[in-house]
Amino acid sequence: MRRLRRPSRGLLATTAATVLALTASGCVTVHGERELLPAATKAEAAQALEDFTDAYNKADKAYDPALDAGRVTGPLGAINQAGLKSRAVTSPGGNPNHHPLELTDANFALPKKAGWPRWFVADTDSNRDTDQGPGDNRWLLVFVRNGAEQLWEVAYLAILPPNEIPEFATDADGLAEPVAVDSARLAVAPKDLGRRYASFLGGGEQGPFTAGAHTTAWREQRQKAAKRAGLATQYIDQATDTGDFAPLALATRDGGALVFFATRYFERQTAAQGYRPKVSTDVKPLMTGEVKNTVTKEWVSSQAALVKPAGADRDGVTITGRLQGVTAAKGS
């Protein structure tokens, strides 16, 4: 079985659980922030997934970012909210082609950890694949919650084929094992992935990354775009790894981990004298400034990566999925 098993087949809350300990005087003391607790029960996770899907569909139907703003955060939130903001301008009457998102057959990877934030992964089937067959891609949604009074929000989304979803390590209770961001057990610590990925895309050494669509091919595509006649394109990549953009990792049974991490990059296009770069209709609503001969687009990109155990100096990191979107633009 490639994913966590669940009692029955079916993108994306933990209660403020506390542990009570009797003191010597017989009084009760709360130690919930120090105890290892499941991120959520399966019922709570299922409810969070239902709440997300409901909010997502309302926002998509109306093209109103306010309708799911409380259910998305981090890189997915930045991409989702910018996209809805743009489409609210280009299609002010709402989405004429709205087709409700359905997320079914959910498996939940529920890590056990102390304190906040708490998080879990929902591995689901969606109705957005074109073939609708048994080989459909799976949607992996990473839910985060920063306190007992907050809603569960989806920070990351990865869309992967079933054979690229690893088998997660679990304990005797079936709970998943989170990997610390500074862990030395992996070929690259999760906290370093964004920085090293940005360095690689900017022309640095390939280092731990395997060749593929989101590494070597993506860098080659950029290099070709930079050489188009009459239009110079430059890229600046940055790690984005704080707050709800922080990397999150689950241990896999092979000793490695599946890591979700985010980056941000700027794409600057400068036209030859006497010309202006073209700006697409979906980017215009996100623009500030006036386009004279330069457009700078700000992109947020989230990645899912399979990271091997420590000791793998080469090909230790495989980027299996990448989701990106323009979140702002500036003309000059």
* Nearest residue to 241 via CA among 281, 184, 181: 181
Confidence (pLDDT) at 32: 47
pLDDT, residue 194, reads: 98
Condensed to tens digits (0 to 9), the pLDDT of residues 218-261 reads: 999 999 988 888 899 999 999 999 999 999 999 999 999 999 99
**pLDDT of 31 strictly over 80:** no
Amino acid identity of residue 207, one-letter, is G
Query: For residue 28, what pLDDT band results from cuts at 50, 70 and 90?
Result: very low
Sequence-distant (6+) residues with CB within 8 A of 7 are 42
Q: How far is CA 129 from CA 11, 47, 137, 171, in A?
A: 13, 23, 7, 33
Q: Phi/psi class of residue 125: alpha, beta or left (left: φ > 0; alpha: ψ in -120 to 50)?
A: beta
pLDDT at 12: 34
**pLDDT, position 98:** 96
In the predicted model, what is the mean pLDDT of residues 98-103? 97
Instruction: Write down the residue that tokens 């209770």 correspond to.
Output: 173
CA-to-CA distance for 101 and 95, rounded, in angstroms?
13
Are 49 and 12 spatial neighbours (Cβ–Cβ below 8 Å)? yes
In the block, which residue shows the tokens 């799911």?
A: 68
Indicate the pLDDT class of residue 11, thresholds 50, 70 and 90. very low
Please name the residues in contact with 159: beta carbons below 8 A apart, sequence gap of 6 or more. 137, 138, 139, 140, 321, 323
- CA triple 4-6-8, angle to 5 deg: 145
- pLDDT of residue 9 exceeding 70: no
Counting DSSP H helices and E strands in the chain, the numbers are: 4, 14
Does this model's pTM top 0.75? My answer is yes
Residue 26 has pLDDT above 50, yes or no: no
The whole-angstrom separation of Cα 272 and Cα 229 is 9
Sorted by sequence, the CB contacts under 8 Å of residue 129 that are 6+ apart come out as: 136, 137
pLDDT value, residue 227: 82
What is the spatial distance between Cα 158 and Cα 260, in angstroms, rounded to a whole number?
8
For each of the domains in the chain, give its residue range(s) and CATH number, in order of start: 1-177 (3.10.450), 179-332 (no CATH)
State pLDDT tens for residues 172-225.
999 999 999 999 999 999 999 999 999 999 998 888 999 999 999 999 999 998
Give the span between the Cα atoms of 75 and 303, in whole angstroms: 10
288-325 pLDDT, tens digit per residue, is 999 999 999 999 999 999 999 998 778 999 999 999 99
Closest CA to 300 of 251, 244, 216, 248: 244
User: 130: pLDDT confidence band, cut at 50, 70 and 90?
Assistant: low
The reported pLDDT for the residue numbered 131 is 53
Residue 107 has pLDDT above 50, yes or no: yes
Interval 47-98: pLDDT, tens:
999 999 999 999 999 999 999 999 999 999 999 999 999 999 999 999 999 9
Phi-psi sector, 271: left (phi>0), alpha (psi -120 to 50), beta: beta
pLDDT at 226: 86
Torsion of CA 40, 43, 48, 52, to 10 degrees: 150
In the predicted structure, residue 155 carries a pLDDT above the cut 50: yes
pLDDT single digits (tens) 131-140: 545 558 999 9
CB 40 within 8 A of CB 287: no
